[in-house]
Amino acid sequence: MQCDSCGAALPVEARFCLSCGTRVEQAAPDTTVDPVLEALRAAIGFQYRIERLLGRGGMGAVYLAHEFALDRDVAIKVLPPEHAGTSEVRERFKREARTAARLSHSNIVPLHTFGEVSGLLYFVMGYVAGESLAARLHRLGPMDSEATRALLAPICDALDYAHRRNIVHRDLKPDNILINADSGAPLLTDFGIAKAMRADAQLTTAGQLIGTPHYMSPEQALGRADVGPPSDLYSLGIVAYEMLSGRRPFEAATPLEALTERLRRDAKPVNAVAAGIDPDLASAIARCLQREPVNRWPDAKSLREALLPSEEEAEDSLQWRMLRIWVTMLLLLLLASGHLAIFAALHPGSEAFRRVRGMTAGPVVMIAVLIVAAAIWLRVSGIPAGDIARKALQQPRWWRSWYPRWLRRRGDVWDRLPRPVRHFRVCLGVCQISIPVIIMPQYLALVWSRSNAALWLLPAIFFVLALMFATRRRALKHVAAASGANAEEASKIVSTATWRVSLWRRPAFTSVLRGRPGTASPADGGFTRDADATRPEVDVTHRAATATRTDLDATRGFDR
C-alpha cells in the first residue's frame, strides 16, 4: 500500500503516513466475498467446480457447480453454518434430502447425493437450465388457456406421483416451478417443507404456519396438522389463477390479510377477472379453490384429466358415464315420442301410433328419475350445477357429426374440416338419429296397424344409406387428393372423431384441414395450436437466473 500524497510505502494496517503524516483512507471491506461459497470450495472443490450463487432461501443457499467425474452441471444446496447448529433446522434439511431422494419423476428436480463436510450440510441436485415460472410470468405476463394447460398438466403428474408416495409439497408457488429452456418442460422443486403423511415423527405441530402465505390453503392458514394432498391442489389453483390473470385471487397488503381473506370468502372466478379463458379451465381452477378440502378435486390425476384429457383412458367416473348415457337415451326417446305424436295427430283414426308412443312413456320417466338422482349425487359432491349440465350434454365420444359449439370437446376441428368430409359426417349423423328415432318407431307402428305403408319405409332406409355411402366416397377422394394418403389412411381420416387432438396434429391429418392452426378461436371450437405451439416459450438468454430458487416470502412470524 502506498501513500496518496508522497508515494511512500506503507504497511497494510497503517492509519497515517510515516513520512508526511497524511491520513490514510481505508478501503471499504469487500462485501462480495461469500464465506459459504469459499467454505464449499475448500470442502468439495476436488469433486465440483463451484461457479456462482443461484439463489438464497429460508433453508439454505443454492450454487451452480460442475461435476468433474460425470462432466455435468449440477445445483448444490448448502445449509449455512449459522443454521447448522440448530438441531431442528439440521433435521429439516436432512428430511428435505431424504424426501427428494424418494422421488424419481421427469417433472421433479432429481437429487444426486447428500453429504456433510467440515460442518457444511449439502446435497447435490439436477441443474435446470431455464427460468422459474415466476420469472416467466414477470417477463411475459399472463398466459393463454392452452399454454396454461400444457404447463399445469405435467405438474399434476408430478404431484400425483408424490402424493401416491405419501408426500405433500406444502409450498407450491411459481418460484418452485422451473421451466427447462430446451424442452419447455416444467419441473417441481424445493421440498424443503414437504410433509411425509405417514412419518413416525413430525417436525411441525398444530398451530404452526409453514409455507408461503399468499399460496397457502385455508387448512394451512389455520395451522392444522392434517394438511394433505388437497392442500397442494389449492395452492396449484392459485398458481393457475395467477398464470391466466396475472394476479392472485386474494390480493392483500399484508400476508396476514391474505390468509384472512381466503378463510372468509371464496375466490372470484378467474374468467370474471380475465377475458378469453376457456370455461372448463376456469371451472377446474374454481374447484381447486374450494375452501373445504372435500369439495376440491379428489386427486391430482383427476385435475390433470380435466386439464388435458387422456384419449386412451376412461374419461370419467362411473356416475359421470352413466349420467351421459341416460341423458343420451332420454333425448332419443323424447325425439321418438315427439315424432310419434305428430304422426298420431295426422292419423287420428289409428291407435298404433298412440300405443307405440305409450311404450316410450315408462322408460322416459324412469330415465328422468335416474338423471335427477345422478345430478343430485354430483351436486352434493361440490360440483356446480352448470358444470353438471354442460358435462351431461357434452359431445359424446361416439358422435362424428355436427355438434353445438359450446358443447364440443376442447380442440374440436369440425369448423376446419373440408366441405366433402363434413357432408359425409352430416349424412352419418342423420342415419344415426333417423333410423332408431324416426324410421324404426314409424315402421313398428305401421306394422302393428297392418298397414301396407310400412313397405314404403324400406326404400327410404336404402336411400339414406346410399346417400351416406356416396358422400363418403366423395370425402375419401378429396382426402386422398389433399394428403396423398392411401385408401386405408383416408378412411381413418374421414371417420376419426373431430376432438382427437393427438391424431389431428399428425401431418397427414393436418394437411386436409382448412386454414392455419390458430384461425379458429377456442370459443368457436377451433383447433388453435400445432404440436409445437403448446410448448411454453422460454427465453434461452435467461437460463437459470432463478433455476433453483427457494425464496420464502419475507414475512416475520412465518416459519419455513
Looking at 3.30.200.20, 3.20.20.60, 3.40.50.970, 2.102.10.10, the CATH number of the domain 35-126 comes to 3.30.200.20
> pLDDT-derived band of residue 530, with 50, 70 and 90 as boundaries?
very low
> Do residues 171 and 551 make contact, with C-beta atoms less than 8 angstroms apart?
no
The structural architecture, per CATH, of the domain 134-311 is Orthogonal Bundle (1.10)
DSSP-derived 3-state class of residue 497: coil
Mean pLDDT value of segment 507-534: 48
What gap in Å lies between CA 476 and CA 420, rounded to an integer?
9
Cell 385408401 maps to which residue?
A: 487
Mean pLDDT check: name the lowest of 74-88, 110-124, 167-181, 525-539. 525-539
Q: Given the C-alpha cell 298420431, which residue does it identify?
A: 344
| Grid cell listed for 37 | 461459497
pLDDT, one tens digit per residue, over 483-516 is 888 888 889 899 888 888 767 767 778 788 864 3
**Annotated catalytic residue: which of 157, 160, 171, 278?**
171
Whole-number pLDDT of residue 237: 95
Name the least confident of 165-179, 321-335, 512-526: 512-526
Q: How far is it, in rounded angstroms, from Cα 1 to Cα 18?
A: 12
20-29, 246-255, 295-304: range with highest mean pLDDT = 295-304
Beta strands across the sheet bearing 111-117: 48-57, 60-67, 72-79, 120-126, 111-117
Distance CA 478, CA 213 (A): 59
**How many other CB atoms are found less than 10 A from the CB of residue 111?**
21
312: number of Cβ within 10 Å: 7
Q: Give the whole-number percent of the chain exceeding pLDDT 90.
A: 23
What b-and-e string marks burial along 123-153, b requiring 16 or more CB atoms within 10 Å of the CB?
bbbbbbebbbbbbbbeeeebbebbbbbbbbb
Considering only CA atoms, which of 47, 94, 83 is closest in space to residue 67?
47
Backbone angles phi, psi at 120, to 5 degrees: -95, 125
| Stretch 296-316: mean pLDDT | 75
Q: Is 452 helix (H, G, I), strand (E, B) or coil?
A: helix
Give the SS3 label for residue 364: helix
CA 374 to chain centre: 27
| Distance from C-alpha of 290 to C-alpha of 306, rounded to nearest angstrom | 16
Q: Name the pLDDT band for 542 (thresholds 50, 70, 90).
A: very low
Is 36 or 292 the better-scoring residue by pLDDT? 292
Task: Show the cell assigned to 227.
Answer: 394438511
Q: Length of the chain in residues, anyone?
A: 560
The three cell numbers of residue 284 are 377446474
Q: Which of 287, 539, 505 is nearest to 411 (CA)?
A: 505
| Residue 30 pLDDT class (50, 70, 90 cuts) | very low
Residue type, 182: D
pLDDT confidence bin for 365, thresholds 50/70/90: confident
Q: How many CA atoms lie within 13 A of 136 on its CB side?
A: 32
**C-alpha–C-alpha distance, residues 494 and 490, integer Å:** 6
> Which among 250, 180, 160, 267 has a CA at the least distance from the CA of 212?
250
Q: Give the model's confidence band at 521: pLDDT under 50 very low, under 70 low, under 90 confident, else very high.
A: very low
What's the CA gap between 215 and 239, in Å, rounded?
8
Amino acid at the residue 371: I
C-alpha cell at 527: 383447433
CA neighbor of 61 nearest in space, from 82, 31, 91? 82
**Radius of gyration of the chain measured on its C-alpha atoms:** 33
Residue 258 class from Cβ within 10 Å (0-12 exposed, 13-18 middle, 19+ buried)? buried
Amino acid at 476: L
Place of cell 437466473: 545
Global pTM reads 0.57
How far lies 79's CA from each of 96, 114, 279, 344, in Å? 11, 12, 45, 85
Residue 533 CA to residue 190 CA, distance in Å, equals 29
Cα distance between residue 121 and residue 79, in whole Å: 5
Please tell me the chain's helix, strand, coil percentages from 3-state DSSP, rounded to the nearest 5.
50, 10, 40
**Per residue in 189-248, pLDDT tens?**
887 555 544 443 344 444 444 557 888 899 888 878 778 899 999 999 999 999 999 999
Q: Per-domain residue ranges for the chain?
A: 1-31, 35-126, 134-311, 318-524
C-alpha pair distances (Å), 126 with each of 64, 71, 151, 226, 428: 10, 13, 20, 31, 54
Asked whether the predicted pLDDT for residue 142 surpasses 90, the reply is yes
For residues 530 and 513, give the distance between their C-alpha atoms in angstroms, rounded to a whole number.
12
Q: Is 171 a catalytic residue?
A: yes
Question: What integer is the mean pLDDT of 247-254?
Answer: 82
- Indicate the residue type of 386: G
pLDDT number for residue 48:
92
- The grid coordinates listed for 187 are 419441473
In 102-228, alpha helices (H)? 133-140, 145-164, 218-221
Grid cell listed for 180: 427447462
Average predicted confidence (pLDDT) for the chain? 77
In angstroms, what CA-CA distances link 423 with 137, 331, 401, 429, 469?
A: 44, 24, 9, 10, 11
Is there a contact between 311 and 500 (Cβ–Cβ < 8 Å)?
Answer: yes
